Structure 1
Protein backbone atom coordinates (compact mmCIF):
# COMPACT_ATOMS: atom_id res chain seq x y z
CA UNK A 1 0.00 0.00 0.00
CA UNK A 2 1.41 3.38 -0.93
CA UNK A 3 1.52 6.46 1.26
CA UNK A 4 -1.19 8.09 -0.86
CA UNK A 5 -3.52 5.12 -0.43
CA UNK A 6 -3.31 5.41 3.34
CA UNK A 7 -3.64 9.20 3.35
CA UNK A 8 -7.19 9.09 4.67
CA UNK A 9 -6.08 7.11 7.72
CA UNK A 10 -3.67 9.45 9.45
CA UNK A 11 -0.74 11.77 9.25
CA UNK A 12 2.50 9.91 9.88
CA UNK A 13 5.21 12.54 10.37
CA UNK A 14 5.78 16.22 11.20
CA UNK A 15 8.88 17.97 9.82
CA UNK A 16 9.87 21.38 11.20
CA UNK A 17 12.50 23.84 9.98
CA UNK A 18 13.93 26.94 11.63
CA UNK A 19 17.02 29.09 11.56
CA UNK A 20 17.68 32.44 13.26
CA UNK A 21 15.45 32.70 16.34
CA UNK A 22 14.69 29.00 16.05
CA UNK A 23 15.68 27.81 19.51
CA UNK A 24 13.01 30.01 21.10
CA UNK A 25 10.44 29.08 18.45
CA UNK A 26 11.14 25.36 18.75
CA UNK A 27 11.02 25.54 22.54
CA UNK A 28 7.62 27.23 22.38
CA UNK A 29 6.28 24.74 19.83
CA UNK A 30 7.47 21.67 21.73
CA UNK A 31 6.29 22.97 25.09
CA UNK A 32 2.80 23.56 23.70
CA UNK A 33 2.62 20.22 21.87
CA UNK A 34 2.65 18.42 25.21
CA UNK A 35 3.29 14.70 25.68
CA UNK A 36 2.24 11.66 23.72
CA UNK A 37 2.49 12.89 20.15
CA UNK A 38 1.40 10.01 17.92
CA UNK A 39 3.93 10.72 15.16
CA UNK A 40 7.70 11.39 14.98
CA UNK A 41 8.82 15.00 14.70
CA UNK A 42 11.88 15.71 12.53
CA UNK A 43 13.69 19.03 13.02
CA UNK A 44 16.19 21.00 10.98
CA UNK A 45 17.63 23.93 12.90
CA UNK A 46 20.57 25.73 11.32
CA UNK A 47 23.48 25.39 13.78
CA UNK A 48 27.11 26.48 13.74
CA UNK A 49 29.00 23.40 12.48
CA UNK A 50 32.21 24.51 14.21
CA UNK A 51 30.86 23.70 17.66
CA UNK A 52 29.27 20.71 19.35
CA UNK A 53 25.62 21.30 20.09
CA UNK A 54 23.50 21.11 23.22
CA UNK A 55 20.23 21.74 21.36
CA UNK A 56 18.69 18.39 22.32
CA UNK A 57 19.30 19.09 25.99
CA UNK A 58 18.00 22.64 25.75
CA UNK A 59 14.79 21.57 24.02
CA UNK A 60 14.31 18.58 26.35
CA UNK A 61 13.89 20.96 29.27
CA UNK A 62 10.84 22.50 27.59
CA UNK A 63 8.88 19.40 26.60
CA UNK A 64 7.70 16.00 27.83
CA UNK A 65 8.57 14.54 24.43
CA UNK A 66 11.90 12.74 24.05
CA UNK A 67 14.37 14.95 22.15
CA UNK A 68 17.57 13.58 20.62
CA UNK A 69 20.06 14.20 17.85
CA UNK A 70 19.11 12.03 14.89
CA UNK A 71 21.36 9.05 14.17
CA UNK A 72 22.07 7.43 10.85
CA UNK A 73 19.94 4.34 10.10
CA UNK A 74 17.61 4.62 13.11
CA UNK A 75 13.86 4.24 12.76
CA UNK A 76 11.77 7.28 13.68
CA UNK A 77 9.37 6.52 16.53
CA UNK A 78 6.16 8.32 17.53
CA UNK A 79 6.54 10.89 20.27
CA UNK A 80 10.25 11.41 19.65
CA UNK A 81 11.82 14.63 18.34
CA UNK A 82 14.80 14.00 16.06
CA UNK A 83 17.08 16.99 15.50
CA UNK A 84 19.52 17.07 12.59
CA UNK A 85 23.10 17.16 13.93
CA UNK A 86 25.23 20.15 12.92
CA UNK A 87 26.64 19.95 9.39
CA UNK A 88 24.49 16.93 8.42
CA UNK A 89 21.42 16.79 6.21
CA UNK A 90 18.57 14.77 7.73
CA UNK A 91 16.53 12.53 5.42
CA UNK A 92 13.86 9.85 5.92
CA UNK A 93 12.74 6.96 3.75
CA UNK A 94 9.34 5.31 3.31
CA UNK A 95 10.04 2.84 6.13
CA UNK A 96 10.61 5.71 8.55
CA UNK A 97 14.35 5.04 8.70
CA UNK A 98 16.48 8.17 9.09
CA UNK A 99 19.71 8.87 7.27
CA UNK A 100 22.35 11.55 7.68
CA UNK A 101 24.33 13.00 4.79
CA UNK A 102 27.30 15.32 4.37
CA UNK A 103 26.36 15.99 0.73
CA UNK A 104 26.68 19.51 -0.68
CA UNK A 105 25.12 22.47 1.09
CA UNK A 106 21.76 23.70 -0.21
CA UNK A 107 21.30 27.49 -0.15
CA UNK A 108 24.61 27.62 1.75
CA UNK A 109 23.27 25.52 4.64
CA UNK A 110 23.66 21.98 5.94
CA UNK A 111 21.32 20.68 7.31
CA UNK A 112 18.81 21.80 4.71
CA UNK A 113 15.09 22.16 5.32
CA UNK A 114 14.50 21.69 1.59
CA UNK A 115 16.14 18.26 1.60
CA UNK A 116 14.28 17.16 4.74
CA UNK A 117 10.93 18.32 3.38
CA UNK A 118 11.55 16.76 -0.04
CA UNK A 119 12.45 13.42 1.56
CA UNK A 120 9.36 13.59 3.79
CA UNK A 121 7.20 14.34 0.74
CA UNK A 122 8.66 11.39 -1.15
CA UNK A 123 8.38 9.00 1.78
CA UNK A 124 4.97 9.96 3.19
CA UNK A 125 3.08 11.88 0.50
CA UNK A 126 -0.27 13.08 1.81
CA UNK A 127 0.55 11.80 5.30
CA UNK A 128 3.23 14.48 5.81
CA UNK A 129 3.02 17.77 7.70
CA UNK A 130 5.74 20.36 7.10
CA UNK A 131 6.18 23.49 9.21
CA UNK A 132 8.44 26.51 8.65
CA UNK A 133 9.35 28.69 11.62
CA UNK A 134 11.47 31.83 12.03
CA UNK A 135 14.68 32.17 10.04
CA UNK A 136 16.65 34.16 7.50
CA UNK A 137 17.10 33.12 3.88
CA UNK A 138 14.92 30.89 1.68
CA UNK A 139 15.59 27.39 3.02
CA UNK A 140 12.39 25.35 3.10
CA UNK A 141 10.56 27.06 0.23
CA UNK A 142 11.32 24.38 -2.37
CA UNK A 143 10.58 21.73 0.21
CA UNK A 144 7.13 22.98 1.18
CA UNK A 145 6.27 23.07 -2.52
CA UNK A 146 7.27 19.40 -2.74
CA UNK A 147 5.19 18.48 0.32
CA UNK A 148 2.14 20.27 -1.06
CA UNK A 149 2.62 18.73 -4.52
CA UNK A 150 2.52 15.27 -2.92
CA UNK A 151 -0.72 16.06 -1.07
CA UNK A 152 0.78 16.91 2.32
CA UNK A 153 -0.13 19.78 4.61
CA UNK A 154 2.05 22.86 5.15
CA UNK A 155 2.08 25.25 8.12
CA UNK A 156 4.12 28.40 8.47
CA UNK A 157 4.81 30.88 11.23
CA UNK A 158 3.28 34.25 10.33
CA UNK A 159 6.09 36.36 8.81
CA UNK A 160 4.61 39.46 10.42
CA UNK A 161 5.15 38.07 13.92
CA UNK A 162 8.17 35.79 13.37
CA UNK A 163 11.42 36.94 14.96
CA UNK A 164 13.08 36.62 11.54
CA UNK A 165 10.75 36.67 8.55
CA UNK A 166 12.92 35.44 5.67
CA UNK A 167 12.12 31.71 5.72
CA UNK A 168 8.40 32.19 6.49
CA UNK A 169 8.06 34.81 3.73
CA UNK A 170 9.77 32.56 1.19
CA UNK A 171 7.49 29.67 2.14
CA UNK A 172 4.32 31.75 1.93
CA UNK A 173 5.40 33.14 -1.46
CA UNK A 174 5.27 29.61 -2.95
CA UNK A 175 1.48 29.51 -2.53
CA UNK A 176 1.87 26.06 -0.97
CA UNK A 177 1.16 27.01 2.65
CA UNK A 178 -2.18 25.84 4.10
CA UNK A 179 -1.96 27.60 7.49
CA UNK A 180 -0.14 30.86 8.29
CA UNK A 181 -0.23 31.20 12.06
CA UNK A 182 1.26 33.02 15.03
CA UNK A 183 3.85 30.81 16.73
CA UNK A 184 1.61 30.28 19.75
CA UNK A 185 -1.14 28.67 17.61
CA UNK A 186 0.96 26.22 15.60
CA UNK A 187 1.08 23.41 18.18
CA UNK A 188 -2.70 23.38 18.55
CA UNK A 189 -3.19 23.06 14.80
CA UNK A 190 -0.60 20.27 14.50
CA UNK A 191 -2.24 18.40 17.37
CA UNK A 192 -5.64 18.89 15.79
CA UNK A 193 -4.51 17.60 12.39
CA UNK A 194 -2.78 14.54 13.78
CA UNK A 195 -5.56 13.59 16.18
CA UNK A 196 -8.50 14.30 13.86
CA UNK A 197 -6.99 12.04 11.22
CA UNK A 198 -6.76 9.22 13.76
CA UNK A 199 -10.37 9.34 14.98
Structure 2
Protein backbone atom coordinates (compact mmCIF):
# COMPACT_ATOMS: atom_id res chain seq x y z
CA UNK A 1 0.00 0.00 0.00
CA UNK A 2 1.37 3.37 -1.01
CA UNK A 3 0.45 6.50 0.91
CA UNK A 4 2.94 8.83 -0.74
CA UNK A 5 3.26 10.42 -4.14
CA UNK A 6 3.42 8.52 -7.41
CA UNK A 7 6.65 6.59 -7.70
CA UNK A 8 8.25 6.09 -11.12
CA UNK A 9 6.55 2.75 -11.78
CA UNK A 10 3.09 4.02 -10.86
CA UNK A 11 3.74 7.22 -12.81
CA UNK A 12 4.42 5.22 -15.95
CA UNK A 13 1.18 3.32 -15.40
CA UNK A 14 -0.72 6.51 -14.65
CA UNK A 15 0.30 8.08 -17.95
CA UNK A 16 -1.45 5.20 -19.73
CA UNK A 17 -4.75 5.62 -17.88
CA UNK A 18 -7.85 6.17 -19.99
CA UNK A 19 -10.59 6.44 -17.34
CA UNK A 20 -11.31 6.75 -13.62
CA UNK A 21 -14.26 5.14 -11.83
CA UNK A 22 -15.30 6.18 -8.32
CA UNK A 23 -17.80 4.68 -5.89
CA UNK A 24 -19.25 6.06 -2.67
CA UNK A 25 -22.22 5.66 -0.39
CA UNK A 26 -22.97 7.12 3.04
CA UNK A 27 -20.91 10.28 3.50
CA UNK A 28 -20.05 10.31 -0.19
CA UNK A 29 -21.41 13.70 -1.26
CA UNK A 30 -19.09 15.65 1.03
CA UNK A 31 -16.14 13.39 0.19
CA UNK A 32 -16.70 13.80 -3.54
CA UNK A 33 -17.07 17.57 -3.29
CA UNK A 34 -13.66 17.73 -1.60
CA UNK A 35 -12.02 15.35 -4.07
CA UNK A 36 -13.36 17.12 -7.13
CA UNK A 37 -12.81 20.66 -5.83
CA UNK A 38 -9.61 21.09 -7.82
CA UNK A 39 -10.89 19.74 -11.12
CA UNK A 40 -10.88 22.34 -13.85
CA UNK A 41 -11.81 22.55 -17.51
CA UNK A 42 -8.35 21.24 -18.41
CA UNK A 43 -8.93 17.85 -16.77
CA UNK A 44 -8.24 15.21 -19.41
CA UNK A 45 -9.64 11.90 -18.15
CA UNK A 46 -13.29 10.86 -18.00
CA UNK A 47 -14.38 10.22 -14.41
CA UNK A 48 -17.44 8.00 -13.87
CA UNK A 49 -19.04 8.06 -10.42
CA UNK A 50 -21.64 5.91 -8.69
CA UNK A 51 -23.10 7.33 -5.50
CA UNK A 52 -25.81 5.24 -3.87
CA UNK A 53 -29.16 6.96 -4.36
CA UNK A 54 -32.79 6.36 -3.46
CA UNK A 55 -34.31 4.29 -6.27
CA UNK A 56 -37.48 6.33 -6.52
CA UNK A 57 -36.13 9.88 -6.73
CA UNK A 58 -34.45 11.66 -9.63
CA UNK A 59 -30.80 12.43 -9.01
CA UNK A 60 -29.71 16.07 -8.97
CA UNK A 61 -26.04 15.28 -8.44
CA UNK A 62 -24.94 16.50 -11.86
CA UNK A 63 -26.62 19.86 -11.37
CA UNK A 64 -25.28 20.29 -7.83
CA UNK A 65 -21.71 19.41 -8.76
CA UNK A 66 -21.72 21.45 -11.98
CA UNK A 67 -22.52 24.58 -9.97
CA UNK A 68 -19.41 24.02 -7.83
CA UNK A 69 -16.81 22.65 -10.25
CA UNK A 70 -14.86 23.90 -13.24
CA UNK A 71 -14.97 20.56 -15.07
CA UNK A 72 -17.91 19.52 -17.25
CA UNK A 73 -20.44 17.45 -15.24
CA UNK A 74 -23.39 15.42 -16.52
CA UNK A 75 -25.54 12.38 -15.85
CA UNK A 76 -24.50 9.41 -17.97
CA UNK A 77 -26.95 8.60 -20.78
CA UNK A 78 -27.60 5.21 -22.33
CA UNK A 79 -25.46 4.60 -25.46
CA UNK A 80 -23.42 7.79 -24.81
CA UNK A 81 -19.70 7.55 -25.57
CA UNK A 82 -17.30 8.51 -22.79
CA UNK A 83 -15.50 11.80 -23.36
CA UNK A 84 -12.36 13.06 -21.67
CA UNK A 85 -12.64 16.04 -19.35
CA UNK A 86 -16.10 15.03 -18.17
CA UNK A 87 -17.37 13.95 -14.76
CA UNK A 88 -20.28 11.52 -15.16
CA UNK A 89 -22.78 10.48 -12.49
CA UNK A 90 -24.96 7.38 -12.59
CA UNK A 91 -28.71 8.00 -12.69
CA UNK A 92 -30.91 6.80 -9.84
CA UNK A 93 -32.74 3.53 -10.40
CA UNK A 94 -30.34 2.13 -13.02
CA UNK A 95 -27.10 0.20 -12.95
CA UNK A 96 -24.44 1.94 -15.05
CA UNK A 97 -22.14 -0.20 -17.20
CA UNK A 98 -19.37 0.56 -19.69
CA UNK A 99 -19.44 -1.38 -22.95
CA UNK A 100 -16.52 -2.52 -25.13
CA UNK A 101 -16.98 0.44 -27.48
CA UNK A 102 -16.45 2.84 -24.52
CA UNK A 103 -20.12 3.77 -24.32
CA UNK A 104 -22.53 3.60 -21.39
CA UNK A 105 -25.42 1.23 -20.97
CA UNK A 106 -28.13 1.46 -18.32
CA UNK A 107 -29.74 -1.59 -16.77
CA UNK A 108 -32.77 -2.21 -14.59
CA UNK A 109 -31.52 -5.56 -13.34
CA UNK A 110 -32.07 -6.34 -9.66
CA UNK A 111 -30.21 -4.25 -7.05
CA UNK A 112 -26.83 -5.55 -5.90
CA UNK A 113 -25.97 -5.10 -2.22
CA UNK A 114 -29.39 -3.42 -2.01
CA UNK A 115 -28.18 -0.75 -4.43
CA UNK A 116 -29.12 0.31 -7.95
CA UNK A 117 -26.87 1.85 -9.23
CA UNK A 118 -24.28 -0.56 -7.86
CA UNK A 119 -20.61 0.30 -7.59
CA UNK A 120 -19.60 -3.32 -8.28
CA UNK A 121 -21.53 -3.33 -11.56
CA UNK A 122 -19.76 -0.19 -12.81
CA UNK A 123 -16.30 -1.24 -11.57
CA UNK A 124 -16.43 -4.75 -13.00
CA UNK A 125 -17.73 -3.67 -16.40
CA UNK A 126 -15.12 -0.89 -16.60
CA UNK A 127 -12.33 -3.30 -15.60
CA UNK A 128 -13.34 -5.69 -18.39
CA UNK A 129 -13.11 -2.85 -20.93
CA UNK A 130 -10.09 -0.85 -19.78
CA UNK A 131 -7.95 -3.38 -17.89
CA UNK A 132 -4.63 -1.72 -16.91
CA UNK A 133 -5.83 1.62 -18.32
CA UNK A 134 -8.37 2.05 -15.49
CA UNK A 135 -8.13 3.53 -12.01
CA UNK A 136 -10.78 2.70 -9.43
CA UNK A 137 -11.44 4.72 -6.26
CA UNK A 138 -13.62 3.44 -3.41
CA UNK A 139 -14.78 5.83 -0.70
CA UNK A 140 -16.89 5.96 2.44
CA UNK A 141 -19.97 3.76 2.68
CA UNK A 142 -22.09 1.54 4.91
CA UNK A 143 -22.10 -1.76 2.98
CA UNK A 144 -19.75 -3.95 0.94
CA UNK A 145 -20.66 -2.68 -2.53
CA UNK A 146 -17.51 -1.86 -4.48
CA UNK A 147 -15.21 -4.24 -2.60
CA UNK A 148 -15.39 -7.00 -5.21
CA UNK A 149 -15.31 -4.40 -7.97
CA UNK A 150 -12.07 -2.83 -6.74
CA UNK A 151 -10.60 -6.35 -6.41
CA UNK A 152 -11.54 -7.03 -10.04
CA UNK A 153 -9.86 -3.80 -11.19
CA UNK A 154 -6.72 -4.90 -9.33
CA UNK A 155 -6.84 -8.41 -10.83
CA UNK A 156 -7.08 -6.99 -14.34
CA UNK A 157 -4.09 -4.69 -13.88
CA UNK A 158 -5.74 -1.38 -13.03
CA UNK A 159 -4.70 1.08 -10.33
CA UNK A 160 -6.71 0.92 -7.10
CA UNK A 161 -7.33 3.59 -4.49
CA UNK A 162 -9.23 3.08 -1.25
CA UNK A 163 -10.08 5.82 1.21
CA UNK A 164 -8.29 5.34 4.52
CA UNK A 165 -10.99 3.83 6.77
CA UNK A 166 -9.85 6.10 9.61
CA UNK A 167 -10.68 9.08 7.37
CA UNK A 168 -14.06 7.77 6.15
CA UNK A 169 -17.32 9.01 7.59
CA UNK A 170 -18.53 5.39 7.41
CA UNK A 171 -15.60 2.95 7.16
CA UNK A 172 -17.50 -0.25 6.26
CA UNK A 173 -16.99 0.00 2.50
CA UNK A 174 -13.24 0.74 2.47
CA UNK A 175 -12.68 -1.88 5.18
CA UNK A 176 -14.50 -4.48 3.07
CA UNK A 177 -12.30 -3.64 0.08
CA UNK A 178 -9.06 -3.90 2.04
CA UNK A 179 -10.19 -7.22 3.56
CA UNK A 180 -10.11 -8.67 0.03
CA UNK A 181 -6.56 -7.50 -0.65
CA UNK A 182 -4.21 -4.50 -0.65
CA UNK A 183 -4.82 -1.41 -2.76
CA UNK A 184 -2.15 0.58 -4.60
CA UNK A 185 -3.06 3.62 -2.50
CA UNK A 186 -4.85 3.95 0.85
CA UNK A 187 -5.34 7.67 1.31
CA UNK A 188 -7.40 10.29 3.14
CA UNK A 189 -9.54 12.58 1.03
CA UNK A 190 -6.86 15.29 0.56
CA UNK A 191 -4.47 12.62 -0.68
CA UNK A 192 -6.99 11.33 -3.21
CA UNK A 193 -7.59 14.89 -4.45
CA UNK A 194 -3.83 15.36 -4.87
CA UNK A 195 -3.53 12.03 -6.67
CA UNK A 196 -6.17 13.02 -9.23
CA UNK A 197 -4.28 16.27 -9.82
CA UNK A 198 -1.01 14.38 -10.32
CA UNK A 199 -2.69 12.01 -12.74
CA UNK A 200 -3.83 14.94 -14.83
CA UNK A 201 -0.24 16.23 -15.02
CA UNK A 202 0.92 12.78 -16.16
CA UNK A 203 -1.51 12.92 -19.08
CA UNK A 204 0.32 15.88 -20.62
Please confirm whether the aligned pair reaches a TM-score higher than 0.5, indicating the same fold.
Answer: yes
Q: Give yes or no for the alignment of 1:84 onto 2:90.
A: yes
TM-score, normalization by structure 1: 0.91
Q: Secondary structure at the match of 2:83?
A: coil
Task: Please give the secondary structure, in 2, of the residue aligned with 1:155.
Answer: strand
1:15 maps to 2:21: yes
Describe the superposition over 1:79-110 as per-residue Cα deviations: whole angstroms up to 9, x where unpaired. 11111100111111232101111111111111
Contact map agreement 2:128 2:156 (CA 8 A) in 1: yes
Structure 1 residues 120-155: Cα deviation after superposition (integer angstroms, max 9, x where no partner): 110000000000111110000110111001100000
Please say if 1:108 is aligned against 2:114: yes
For the 8 Å contact 1:33–1:188, the answer to whether it is kept is: no
Q: Check whether the contact 2:41–2:72 (CA below 8 A) recurs between aligned residues.
A: no
Q: Which runs of 5+ in 1 are unaligned?
A: 1-6
Secondary structure of the equivalent of 2:160? Answer: strand
Give the TM-score of the pair, scaled to structure 2: 0.89
Match of 1:95 in 2: 101
| SS of structure 1 residue aligned to 2:84 | coil
Give, in whole Å, the separation in 2 of the partners of 1:163 and 1:147: 24
Number of the residue aligned with 1:63: 69
Alignment of 1:1-199 (within 5 A): 10-196=16-202, 198=203
Q: CA deviation at 1:194?
A: 4.6
Change (3 A) 1:195 1:150: farther
Q: Shift of residue 35 of structure 1?
A: 3.3
How many residues in Structure 1 have an aligned counterpart in Structure 2? Answer: 192
